[in-house]
Amino acid sequence: MIVTCPANDSEFRQALRLILWQPGLGAADLDERVDVLRQYCTNHDLSLDNVLVAREDSAFVSACLCIDSPGRTSAVFVPVLDRQDRRTEVLVELLRQVVTAGCERGIVYLQAMVEPESREVHVFREAGFTFLARMLYLESDLTQFFLPIASAPSLNWETYNNQTHDLFSKVLVGTYEDSRDCPLLNGVRNVEDILAAHRSTGQFDARLWQVACGPSGPVGILLLAFIPERWSYEVVYMGLLPSCRGQGYAAALLGQAVREARERAVMKLTLSVDETNVPARRWYERFGFRERNRRDAWIRVLQAADSDSER
């Protein structure tokens, strides 16, 4: 009989080792991965308390990890499954328990990033998760020379603070209209949860949160964060208001991101994009972004949207 329950102290490290294991990874490298994860969570004030394990006749069988983030979301991690693995049904049951526990913690939605075409995809589908998007992880080497784009409009930049909070909220929500990046998330979270989630990415610096303003008012928003583990800046979010699309403002926002990173002697810029967002991908390619990885995002919404929900 399979029993699922929170991991006890003796199972905790064993569970993390199972979840972080990859084919070809030796014991020493696996232990290092566990230590890196624990240090990362400590540095970013994230909890590793939400580890569920499955036991069969008191023997450890499988495990699942949830890492809750600001903004009431939780990242879900399960072990890699090979073709002969018989833990599929066990993991589905673990994920059902994850859903119940997430509801109790007030989580809005669970999200898992899965290798495309992997067996884990079947597990999340069976557990009631919905495919959100195939996300492409892009990187640009800023030591390379970029030709200036003469058509990029000149803009003024408002930085984030208590006085501009409402402006950022309004522009951020406005950029979601007809967005091609993960449209299924629209209406799931309220704007305060969204901003909290963005603030939790990397090292938050209000000077790197900027609303772009043209002669007639705001046109878009650019949110950057420093990622010390990779010594890079990440474009956490970039978006344009619908009326301002197709006018070259995307080049202006990307150019601003490049300038901010270079001014701080950081020569790597990263971002992620929905594979189906072809217009954005074309702009990223012009700025030297190249694909480094890809993952499929699966989500399970746990709570009905608040009355003021936006995404």
Return d(Cα 63, Cα 93) in angstroms, integer: 11
Q: How far is CA 28 from CA 33, 48, 196, 251, in A?
A: 9, 21, 36, 45
The whole-number pLDDT of residue 6 equals 81
Residues 6+ apart with CB under 8 A from 220: 171, 175, 211, 212, 238, 239, 240, 241, 244, 249, 253
> Do 243 and 174 have their domain in common?
yes
SS (H, E, C) 52-103: EEEEECCEEEEEEEEEEECCCEEEEECCCCCCCCCCHHHHHHHHHHHHHHHH
Domain of residue 187, residue span? 138-294
Q: How far apart are CA 191 and CA 308, in angstroms?
A: 8
Angle of helix 278-286 relative to helix 249-263, nearest 10 degrees, comes to: 50
Residue at 253 is within a domain: yes
Q: Give tens-digit pLDDT for 164-223.
A: 999 999 999 999 999 999 999 988 999 999 999 999 999 999 999 999 999 999 999 999
Say yes or no to pLDDT of 84 above 60: no
Domain boundary (91, 108, 128) is at 128
Residue 147 confidence (pLDDT) above 60: no
Residues 181 and 283 in one domain: yes
Residue 305 lies in a domain: no
| pLDDT above 90 coverage of the chain, percent | 81
* Mean pLDDT, range 147-162, rounded to an integer: 80
Does residue 147 sit in the same domain as residue 272? yes
152 lies in the same domain as 88: no
pLDDT of residue 129: 98
As a whole number of angstroms, the distance between CA 90 and CA 63 comes to 9
Same domain, 51 and 94: yes
Q: Tell whether 142 and 66 lie within a shared domain.
A: no
Per the domain annotation, does 133 fall within a domain? Answer: no
| 92 and 25 share one domain | yes
* Range name among 9-13, 63-67, 82-86, 122-126 with the lowest pLDDT average: 82-86
Q: How confident is the model at residue 283 (pLDDT cuts 50, 70, 90)?
A: very high
Same domain, 152 and 276: yes
Under 8 Å between Cβ of 225 and 207: no
Examine the fold and report which residue of 65, 93, 128 is the final residue of a domain before the chain moves on. Answer: 128
Strand partners, 225: 234
| Cα angle 169-173-174, degrees, rounded to a multiple of 5 | 115
The residues, any chain, with a CB within 8 Å of residue 86's CB and separated by 6 or more, are: none
Q: In the structure, what pLDDT confidence band is assigned to residue 82 with cuts at 50, 70 and 90?
A: confident
State the Cα–Cα distance between residues 64 and 297, nearest whole angstrom: 17
Place of tokens 């290092």: 32
**CB contact at 8 A, 18 and 62:** yes
Residue type (1 letter), 60:
F
**pLDDT of the residue at 86:** 66
How much is the average pLDDT of 151-161? 87
Please state whether the predicted TM-score (pTM) of the whole model is above 0.75.
yes
Q: What pLDDT shows up at residue 304?
A: 66
**Per-residue model confidence (pLDDT) at position 88:** 86
Percent of the chain with pLDDT over 70: 92
Task: List Cβ neighbours of 247 (8 Å cut-off, separation of 6 or more).
Answer: 153
**pLDDT averaged over every residue in the chain:** 91
Question: For the chain, what is the domain count?
Answer: 2
Between 187 and 307, the higher pLDDT residue:
187
Query: Residues 29-38: pLDDT tens digits?
Result: 999 999 999 9
The yes-or-no verdict on residue 308 having pLDDT over 90 is no
**Is 308 a domain residue?**
no
Tell me, what CATH number does 238's domain have?
3.40.630.30
Structure confidence at residue 150 (pLDDT): 55
Q: Which pLDDT score is estimated for 1?
A: 43
In a domain? residue 304: no
Average pLDDT, integer, range 131-135: 98
Domain end: 110, 128, 146, which one? Answer: 128
Question: Quick check: 300 pLDDT over 70?
Answer: yes
pLDDT higher at 1 or 21: 21
Establish if 112 belongs to a structural domain. Answer: yes
Do 192 and 261 have their domain in common?
A: yes
Instruction: Say if 311 falls within a structural domain.
Output: no
* Residue 55 pLDDT grade (very low, low, confident, very high; cuts 50, 70, 90): confident
Specify whether 202 is located in the same domain as 91. Answer: no
Any domain includes 303: no
- Domain co-membership, 97 together with 147: no
Q: Are 97 and 142 in the same domain? A: no
Q: How far apart are CA 17 and CA 265, in angstroms?
A: 36
Least confident of 6-15, 181-190, 196-205, 244-253: 6-15
